[in-house]
Structure 1
Amino acid sequence: MSDILGYKGKRVIVSGCFSGMGEATAKILLDLGAEVHGLDFKESTLPLASFNQIDLRDAGSIEKGVAAIGGKIDALFNCAGLAGGGAFPALDTFKVNFIGTRHLTDTVLPLMGPGGAIVSIASTGGLGWSRRIPTHMELLQIQGFDAAVAWAEAHPEHVAEGYAFSKEAVIVWTQFMGAQLIKKGIRINCSLPSPTQTPMMATFHATSGKDIVDAAAEPLGRYTTPAEQAGPLVLLNSDAAGVVNGVVLPVDGGFMGGLTTGQVDISKMMGGGQKQG
């Protein structure tokens, strides 16, 4: 029971390892004895086994980064993401948050075997997923990076500002793939963070408004830290969570429970931009 999480000696990949939740996740994994390989647009200063620069907007860049790592991969942590609200072009946000993340996962999957695990960061900003299931299922039938980009370009009414729909897509994709990958002994889950004090927070305040972001931090009454978000990601991909699969896990200090039971005033979040996750 001394290594209940089972990361010692495991080969893992963390995308978005430069800062925020990805960096915090990589730090925990290093402390647990994992062999951590990092991928990001910006170079990490952590003592990783390897680092490769990638751009999740570019399929070739993703494939080159994964090829440079090679070998068997035990776990993938999809932590890279862009904010919405007009901070970046909508298509760029959608590419990074969903299309590129899915392509990275598809590229890593052939390196995984039974016991492999994948976790992605979605967001409380993607809670509208259940209202657009037919649209998301249509998107999931579109295979390949370029074809998915073409679909997004043809459906600007869905992609909108990029963020909320991209996070909804991660949620639906996680649940869909959970039923597919488990037949190969591979698990996939995602988390729904509430507002977290990362370098992107200033962007969320500027594009969505601080009042709206603050409302999504109730009932906890504060923003979470990257380390508080990283812990559940590490747990979901660990041996201790061996049959946890297809789960969309709120990591929000009680936001979802408060919303469900009427203790969070959702009206404060209506009419503004998208929440941060």
Structure 2
Amino acid sequence: MTDSPGADPRHSEHDEGFAPQEQEQPGTTDETRPTPDHGEESYRGSDRLRGRRALITGGDSGIGRAVAIAFAREGADVAIAHMPEEQEDADETIGWIEKAGCRGRSLAGDIRDEEFATGIVDRTIAEFGGLDILVLNAAYQKDRESLDDLSTEEFDRVFRTNLYGLLWTARTAVPHLEPGSSIIVTSSIQAFNPSPNLIDYAMTKAAQVAFVKALAQQLGGKGIRVNAVAPGPIWTPLIPATGGDPEWIEQFGQDTPLGRAGQPAELAGAYVYLASDAATYVSGAVLPVTGGKGL
């Protein structure tokens, strides 16, 4: 009998380009072709987060949904924050959480609104009796042909979604976090290797890395860990909703060393690791999941 070395990472998920497609923001799963893999049929838990309580912003679809499913299958109760327009996706995610035998809570609103961004913490604690894991994942990006094409209104939307909302939610959550709690930010390869057509998005992702490294130093003495995951090209509804040249979609992820885009399910394990006791000595780190593209 010959031992298998494992799945070939070049072909273990969708390994071709994508048909041209476009969506309005914020993008939905049912309009994304092919449908992203969130680990619905593949992720197997092992009680690594049993009894913990998590809040995930942008948890309705894409990376957020994959993390929500994985956390629930590891035993955590999960609340997800999302835009009202994403309620259908959110309901499906909650269904997967509850199917895993855990409690799920859908929180609809706009993270750009300070009252909502802070209120989701209080609502999660009221529902679950506490908060142990905070995943700051909500994000907005849009293709920019040039700096001249970047309006102040759009610049403000990107920064309020990716930075202001993140700060408001984290600031509210920290006083409620006990030693052993974990904050995880979804940054991006764009923080280190920015694309010119995503200049404002890349700026916010670089700022998130600074936030993680600084906050990890602030909270280490309280026994709270702060880390980031830096995804590369991952197939989520955000991609066809980004706009730009249709060829960008067709070639999305093909320039990675593994030759393909990643799927949300392929990031879930990184978040589980950072949230779990396997990472008790990991803080201030940025974990790349990029298909081999360097940070």
Select 1:39's aligned residue among 71, 81, 95. 81
Select 1:30's aligned residue among 56, 72, 93. 72
1:157 corresponds to: none
Q: Is contact 1:194–1:216 with CA below 8 Å preserved after alignment?
A: no
CA distance, structure 1, for counterparts of residue 289 and residue 204 of structure 2? 18
Tell me, yes or no, if structure 1 residue 75 matches structure 2 residue 133: yes
Change (3 A) 1:77 1:25: same
Shift in Å, 1:104: 0.9
TM-score (norm 2): 0.70
Shift in Å, 1:230: 2.0
Tell me, yes or no, if structure 1 residue 227 matches structure 2 residue 265: yes
CA distance, structure 2, for counterparts of residue 109 and residue 250 of structure 1? 25
Tell me, yes or no, if structure 1 residue 115 matches structure 2 residue 180: yes
Q: Is contact 1:90–1:161 with CA below 8 Å preserved after alignment?
A: no
Q: Is contact 1:4–1:239 with CA below 8 Å preserved after alignment?
A: no
Q: Is contact 2:62–2:236 with CA below 8 Å preserved after alignment?
A: yes
Partner deviation per Cα, 1:114-170 (whole Å, 9 max, x = no partner) = 0010111111111169xxxxxxxxxxxxxxxxxxxxxxxxxxxxxx95201110100
Select 1:66's aligned residue among 103, 118, 121. 121
Shift in Å, 1:216: 7.5
CA distance, structure 2, for counterparts of residue 78 and residue 5 of structure 1? 22
CA distance, structure 1, for counterparts of residue 143 and residue 156 of structure 2? 12
The amino acid across from 1:100 in the alignment is G
1:270 corresponds to: none
Unaligned runs of 5+ in 2: 1-44, 145-149
Shift in Å, 1:248: 1.1
| 1:82 partner SS | coil
Q: Percent identity?
A: 30
1:48-63 alignment, distance < 5 Å:
48-63=103-118
Shift in Å, 1:187: 0.4
Q: Is contact 1:205–1:213 with CA below 8 Å preserved after alignment?
A: no
CA distance, structure 2, for counterparts of residue 249 and residue 191 of structure 1? 5
Q: Is contact 2:57–2:81 with CA below 8 Å preserved after alignment?
A: yes
Q: Is contact 1:37–1:51 with CA below 8 Å preserved after alignment?
A: yes
CA distance, structure 2, for counterparts of residue 169 and residue 184 of structure 1? 23
Partner deviation per Cα, 1:13-42 (whole Å, 9 max, x = no partner) = 111111000011001111111111111113
TM-score (norm 1): 0.74
| 1:119 partner SS | strand
Shift in Å, 1:5: 6.5
CA distance, structure 1, for counterparts of residue 60 and residue 238 of structure 2? 12
Q: Is contact 1:217–1:252 with CA below 8 Å preserved after alignment?
A: no
Change (3 A) 1:216 1:250: farther
1:156 corresponds to: none
Change (3 A) 1:110 1:202: same
Count residues with an aligned counterpart.
225
Shift in Å, 1:65: 2.0
Give the root-mean-square deviation of aligned CA atoms.
Answer: 2.5
Tell me, yes or no, if structure 1 residue 17 matches structure 2 residue 59: yes
Richer in helix (by share): 1
Select 2:158's aligned residue among 90, 93, 96. 93
Change (3 A) 1:67 1:59: same
Shift in Å, 1:207: 6.2
CA distance, structure 1, for counterparts of residue 254 and residue 189 of structure 2? 8
1:192 corresponds to: 230
CA distance, structure 2, for counterparts of residue 98 and residue 107 of structure 1? 14
1:124 corresponds to: 189
